[in-house]
Every structure is written in structure tokens, then in C-alpha cells.
Chain A
Amino acid sequence: MSLAAETPAVPGANEQHEPAHGWRLFFIWLVLALAAGLVIWFVWYPHLPPGRMSSSASHQQFDIAVLAIGAAPVVIGVVLYFGYAIVVWRARPGDDSDGPPIHGNTRVQAAWIIGTAVIVMGLFVFGTVELVVPAGAGAGEGPAPIWKLAGTHSATWTPGTSTILQVQVIGQQWAWTYRYPQFGGMESTELYLPLDTPIEFHVTSLDVIHSFWAYQLGVKADANPAVDNVAYTSPKQLGTFVVRCSELCGLWHGAMFNYGHVVSGTAFQAWASGVQAKEQSVGVLAALPPYALTYDPTVIPQLGKEMTQVVGVTGAPGLYYGPGNPVTP
């Protein structure tokens, strides 16, 4: 973008016979850049990942499109310039002479510096707005989030209200589990979310660092052991999405994924209440550690004592506790 502003200024005025390279470049660049911008906006943008399944995803899609529209003229300008240069200014065979001794051009340099500075400040303002408006853009904000989705906190969740649904995401080698504190702290290996509802993810880990990446939802938050990492989104489309671990977490990192579903509010409530009732009746809820923002897998509260042997932390085979049986690894 900045390129066009100063290329016309480059030609030395004293060289009358030289064609106006700058203007030539500028017009070719203008046409190509406009075309690229239009193609990106109308053809590419609707298909750009990560799609529009949630509020944060559609913001990210918009951001990537805007950045691409900003980037295309720069790439086109630089490539066009070098392409033009190697065609027009290559040394003809037998020409052993040197080029003109141009040491610099204050106007060009100043324009370039100001131009890039303006672009960068624009990018910064745009990025900050797009970070604040969609409540942290789906990125993990740590235990004390400063950009939050609108909604009320409540101990229970019912469809059709503005209550935020809390979902705890627990990473461990090499599986994701989800707990729903508003449904008795019930636990599931499948992630169900209601449509058009502000969701508050609490991401934590039992062992090493994982990263919760709900790809189509545009949510990514690292799961750190003993840390509660909060991220927000609001699903806008029904359907299935993929959850992958995006931080290397050991042997089966590549296989650490499962699926999530966005369903209607009533369907979600039916599903969640059903799971809660079932886990209540078979005793899973009683066996689970009480809902907390972080867990220490070396402490099993049901046993009434702390595990003294900290295995899995140093060099030994990792022993981790399945949700079905919190006592025996």
C-alpha cells in the first residue's frame, strides 16, 4: 500500500530520456491491487476459515479477510517492482558499466517510513478493537478475564435466558473431558453447546500443557496444570465442530481430538439434564472430585489423604486417573 505512494517520486528529474517507471508501476499496481482486493472480499472471504459458527469465529474470519486485503497490495507491489526491475533494468550482454550512483532519496525514505508507520498504527488499532469487541476474540484470557461476554452468572442454566453457560475443559494426556458446573458438575467426553448462548470456557489441565482448540468455534486456550484459563464465545450455527489439542503434549498429541456439537437450547438442556441424572444414579457424580477451577491429580480427596508419591511428575511413567475410576490409574 505504502509502495504506491512513493514509487512515483523515485525517478531522478534530471534524466529526461528515462520513461516514467514510477507512474507505469503505479498504474499496473493500482489495477492489480484493486482486483485482488475485490476478489478477496467477494470470492474468498465467505469461504475463509474458520467460518461463522460462532461470534469469535466470524470475527476471526473477518480479521483474516481484512488482513489479506491489506497484505495483497503490499505483496503485489513488491513482487511487481522486483519483476519490473529484473526485466527493465537487467544488464544487457556486453554492458559492463555501473548503475547511477544514487545513494538515497530523502523524500522516498521519509514517505516510506511515515507510510509504514501509519499502516502499523492502523493495524494495531484494528487488532485491538477486534480483540476487545468479541470479548477476547476467543483466546484464553487466564483466570481473571478482562474482556467478557454480556450475560448473567447463575448456579443453574435454562434456555432462553441471558445466563452464561459455564463449561470446564479438562485436558489430560491424551483426552479432553468437559464438566458442566450448572448441571451438578456432571462430566462428559462429548462437548455439547447450546445455540446463541454466551459460553464461558474454563480450561485447565491435569498434567502437562495442552491447548484447547475448538477449530470451527474460533476458540483457543492453553490448558495449564493448576491454572484456570477462561475463554468466551457464542455459537451462532447448529452443527458439529472439531476439538484438537494444539500444544505438543507428548506421545499421542496427534490423536488428541474429539468432536463437539452445537444444538438448540432445549435440546442441550435435555441432553445435559439426562447426563446429570444418569451420572447421579450410577454414582459417578459422587465419585468425581467436587467441581473446582483447577485440580491436583496428586491429591485424591475421596481417599481423605494426599498421595505422597508424586509419580508422573519426574521421569516415571505417567499415572493419571480416569474419570470413571478416580482411585486406580
Chain B
Amino acid sequence: MAIEIQPERAEPTGRGPEAAGGRPWWQRPGVHTGLIGAVAGYFLGHWLGNMLGGFYARSSLADTNDVAIVLGYTFGTIGWLAGLGVFNDLLGTMLGRPLPAHEMGRTEPGLVKYFQFTLNHKVVGIQYLYGMIAYFLTGGLFAMAIRTELLSPTYHIIGPEQYLMVVGEHGTMMMMMMSSVVLGPFGQYFGPIMIGSKRVAFPRLEALGFWLTPAAYIILLSAVLMGGFPTGWTGYEPLATQATQGMDAYFFAFGLMGISMILAGFNMIVTIINYRAPGMRWSRLPMFVWSMFGVSFLQVLAVPVLVGACYMALTDRTFQTAFFTNQLGGSSYLYENLFWFFGHPEVYILALPGFGIMSEVISVFCRKPLFGYRVMVAGVLGVGILSFFVWQHHLFDSGINPDMRPLFMLTTELISIPTGFIFLVAMGTFWRAKIRFTIPMLFALAFYFNFLIGGISGVFVSDVPADTTEHGSFFVMAHFHYTIMGGLIFAFFGGLYYWLPKMLGIKLNETLGKIHFWTMFIFFNSTFLPLFALGIMGMPRRVFEYAHNLQTLNVWVSISAFLLGVSMLIFLINFVMSVTFWRVRAEPNPWRARSLEWQLPTPVPLENFMRVPVILSSPYDYGDPNALPVADLNPPPGVIAAAYAPAATGLEA
């Protein structure tokens, strides 16, 4: 076990040698140099693309060619990373220079570290937090535009072309960027802390994973400049091959975000396996860490398929290959299969973190141990494993493999067994509990309600005959908004209210928080519940015109959606004011929680723990007067070494 055994090492006080070197921030690599690199790289790539492909791939529509756009994005991304200093240590090592004394040595006081390629997992977590909020709000604004257009069945506010652009941007922003909304902020920040580690396994991969997300975000948004892409978030071929250059942005950004997800997942897996503190047995691992573990495996195993599909689609568009063109020997089914082989695990990449966060929250605020810990672990892992065997339920009407339909119907319905475990655990934990209605707990209750509706509607969609009516309609749309927004996003906000006192050391305003919760819960349901009815009454997804008799419901949904947007605005005001101006200091452990992260002082020290802690008991042993504290944070010297000695004394890793 490659655990860093340095229990006697005190917190470094020097803040690292090279930070002390004293160069001002603008002379060191950061966002500003990254932007210079990105712009320079883009123009270089664009010029190169025009040289290479300008004579055979020029589009008469846009007076440009896909090769130039794709190479521009490629070189722009490389320039962005080079400008950020991602490759500095790599090149330095190749040139024989010594690495910085400590990987976290570059951390410094002040805000500059958040705008640099910083290797501290807590800094990366906070970078992710702000990034994800920005991406989420951007995606939400596109949703407002969708609902504005759908106010009328025939009168158009933004018209069909912009409508498709907005639909595609909204869907892709939410599905692709939000896949890291929990693994990014909370997973990177609390994952290592909750297993008692001072660091993550691969800090460079972790930081690279974050710094790819702004690039993917900007590239995805750049599609707007080229008229967007007409395919929605699924990017189906051959429509994608037919589309104009905005499609390149979609495939490139999705592929880039895919790489970010793979890196983040890989780092998380290795960290969780190898960097657990002594005594952090698998049976004591917090559920949140279990869910991160499951998500990471999904990312590492499923996302490469997506990256491959994006790459093939890009070569279709640039090198004139024909992987996905039926008439030229390719297959549009190939894309559908590749996409959904990623796409269904992706849905659980979005769902599992919610299960993890909510397990932490309900245990703390019910003041009870988690009911059936092993069942919960089995649920998380079972959902993860099964999610690889269901993707063809997205293709029930596509005309592929009718004989496989009963099988995929079965595997899809089997997922409701491990999903049911999540509810069993929650209901068991609530049994005779002492429930505290804090804001995270309210979000937890809403999470279970929303996920219940989402899960039950999933059973309707899994049934092939019923799915014939529901497939591709607003019913499906309502279903996955209930699981993803009602599940993941509610869990994210619950986690935010729960963990922000530790991450930033401040408390969010409670009154505004409660207003935010109640408006969000009410208007979320008021927005998405009618969509089930709309879908089953015959409204397909992604249409800008619909039947006149559906207008009343659509107007209702639109108004609810705007009010949901107002709710997000309340959150934003609360967040900005609380974090920037009010700054009400939080106690180190305001929730009296047992789990390891709350035992640390706020702000969390640079290396989390002065010494590697020894984990003594489960984080969920509430109500047990004989329970040991969760960990010994200051074990006497020699204990750690003894833990790894051949004849260990009851402590195992």
C-alpha cells in the first residue's frame, strides 16, 4: 500500500520554496498566460487547417472548413494548457531539473492560487465549485430561452434555428459539464479528507482535469458563433455530419470533457484504493466516498467510448471518413450504440453522487447510523455495474435487434432493485429518528421525493410497449429531469449548504437558503410534472411547434420554469453575498457530525492532517454511547508504522 507514512511531519510553514521566490503573479503561469496560449494556438491551428484542408473541405456556407476549426480547437487547447504551465514540470523533468520540493508547495495565500495550475486538491475542489456553478447557470439560461420559445405553439420568439441551437447548448452544457458537478467540487475536496489522506494520488492529473473544463466550456459555447449545432445533446449521425461547423465545437468539447472525466475518475480510484488512512477499512468508508468510487469506475470505463465516438465523428467531418454514413459503408447505428454505451452509464455518473451526498446528510440530521450500510454499498455498486448493460433501451424503436428487447427491458428493470436499496436505506434511517430540518436535510427529503418520481417514471419507459408511446417525447424529458435535476442538482445544493462551512469557512444565509429551497422544490415540480402529461399527450422532444391544445400546459410549465430561474437567482444572491460580503464565520463542526472532514479545523490545513490519522470507527455511529470517536487525529509516533508492520495489532488498512 503506497500510503505516505509521514506521521511526524508537521505542517510545512515555509509555503514552498518557489512560491517564496517572490515573482509577482503576472510573471508566473496562470489564466492570463493560458488565454494568450489559447488564442495563439487557435490561430496557429486555424492557419494550419486552412493550409492542409482548405482546398478540399471548404464549406460554401461558412467560407471556412472543418479542418481549420478542429485544428484551431486542438492547438488552442494545447496552448491554453501550456500557458497555464501544465507541462512545465514534465518538461523540467525531461531536462533533468529537480521537481518542486513538495507537490503542494506552490499553494500560497490569497486568491492567485485559484487562477493557476495548483496541485492542492482543496484548491482544485474550490476551482471546480465556482466553475460548476458558472456552467450550471449558463445551461439554465439556455433552458429559460427554450421555455420562452415554447410559450406559444406557433408564434416564434427565437425561431427554429436559434431554438435548436439553444436546445443543443442547454442539453450538452448540462449533461456534459454537470457530470463533474459533485465529483469536481466535493469529490476532489472531501474525497481525500474523508479517507484520512493528506493528498490525492495524482495531483497533476486532477488539476489538469479541472483546467480542461473551462476549455470545453468555451469551445462548446463557441458553437453559438457558428450557428450552433442542430442535434441536441445526443449528436446523432448522420444529422451531425450534415451540420455546419458548430458541430465540430460540440464533438471537440464533449471529447475534451470526456478526457477530463477520465482523468478525474482515474485519480479518484487510485486515491481511494491506496491513500486510505490506517483503520479506514472498506466497511468504514463513508458512503460519499463509495459513491465517488463507483462514479470513478463508470467514468474510466464508459467515457473512453464517447471520446472514441467523438473522434470518429470529427474524422467523418474533416478527413471525409464515413464511419457513420450508411450509404458509404458506415452505420448510423454505430454512433447510437457508441453514444449510449457511454450515455447510460453517464446517467448514473450523474445519479450516484446524489446517493452518496444524501446518505451523509440524512445520517447526520436523523442522528442515527445509516440503516443497512452494506445494502447501500451494494446499491451503489450494483447500479454502477448494471448501468453498462442497459444502453439499448434508448434504441427500442430504432429498428436494431428486436430480439434483444426483452433482455434490455429486463436489465433496465433490474436496476430498480439496487435503486430500491437507496430508498430502503433512507427509510430505515428515518425510522424513529430525531430529524433536524436543516437546509441540507430539506434538500435530502426533496431529493428522495424527486428521485422517487424519476425512478418510477423510469419503469414506465423501460417497458417496451409503454415506451412506444413515451419514447422521444416530453415524458422521457420529464423523466430524466426528475432524476438528474431533481436528483443530482438537489443533491448538489444539499451538499453545498452542508459542506460550504468547511470548504469556505462561512455559512450561507439560512433564511435565503430556505426561500431558495422552497421555491426550487415547488417550481421544479410545477415545471416538470406537467411535462409527463405533455409527453404522453403526444408532444415530441426538441420541437419548436406543438399542437394548440397543449398550449395551456406549456404556458404553465414556462412560467414555472421562469420562477425556477428566480429561485436560482435567490441562490446566487445568497451565495455571492454570503461568500463575499456577509461572511458569517462557521464553526468547525456546526452540524455536530461524526465524519472525518468535520473533525478538522476550519480552514482545513494545507496538508489536511498534521499526522496521518488512525480511523477508529464508522462515521455513522450516532446514538451509540459506547462508540469510539471516528479517528485519532494525533496518534502517538510509531502507531502508524506499527499498523503496517507484519503483525499488525488489530488495525488494518
Contact = CB atoms under 8 A, between A and B. Distances in A.
Contact of A220 (B397, B428, B541): B397
Interface residues of B, number: 106
B635 interface: no
A121 B432 CA distance: 32
A118 B232 CA distance: 38
A156 interface: no
A290 interface: no
A94 B397 CA distance: 58
A235 interface: no
B460 interface: yes
A101 interface: yes
A101 B621 contact: yes
A75 B436 CA distance: 24
A51 B325 CA distance: 37
Contact of B317 (A109, A117, A314): A314
A67 B326 CA distance: 38
B566 interface: no
A150 interface: no
A242 B538 contact: yes
Given A208-B239, A220-B471, A253-B542, A99 B623 contact: yes
Contacts of B57: 315
A46 interface: no
Nearest to A219: B468
A215 B641 CA distance: 70
B17 interface: no
Contact of B543 (A56, A131, A230, A253): A253
Interface in A56-100: 56, 59-60, 63-64, 67-68, 70-71, 74-75, 78-79, 81-82, 85-86, 89-91, 95, 97-100
Contact of B417 (A120, A230, A312): A120
Contacts, number: 326
A56 B467 CA distance: 12
A225 B232 contact: no
B434 A64 contact: no
Contacts of B202: none
Contacts of A97: 367, 434, 623
B60 to A, nearest CB: 6
Given A124-B406, A127-B465, A104 B317 contact: no
Contacts of A138: 465, 468
A252 B19 CA distance: 57
B448 interface: yes
Given A86-B435, A104-B375, A139-B396, A71 B459 contact: yes
A113 B238 contact: no
A64 B463 CA distance: 9
A82 B430 contact: yes
B250 to A, nearest CB: 13
Given A63-B466, A99-B367, A116 B541 contact: no
Interface of A: 2, 10, 18, 21, 48-50, 56, 59-60, 63-64, 67-68, 70-71, 74-75, 78-79, 81-82, 85-86, 89-91, 95, 97-105, 108-109, 112-113, 116-117, 120, 123-124, 126-128, 130-131, 134, 136-143, 145-147, 203, 207-209, 211, 213, 215, 218-222, 224-230, 242, 244-255, 296, 298, 310, 312-318
8 contacts: A89-B430, A99-B622, A104-B371, A120-B416, A225-B327, A230-B399, A254-B163, A310-B328
Interface of B: 57, 59-61, 66, 160-161, 163-164, 230-232, 234, 236-239, 241-245, 316-317, 320, 325-328, 332-333, 366-375, 396-403, 405-406, 409-410, 413-414, 416-417, 420-421, 423-424, 427-428, 430-437, 445, 448-449, 452-453, 456, 459-460, 462-469, 471-473, 536-538, 540-547, 621-624, 627
The 6 closest A-B pairs by CB, nearest first: A229-B399, A254-B543, A98-B623, A137-B465, A99-B368, A246-B472
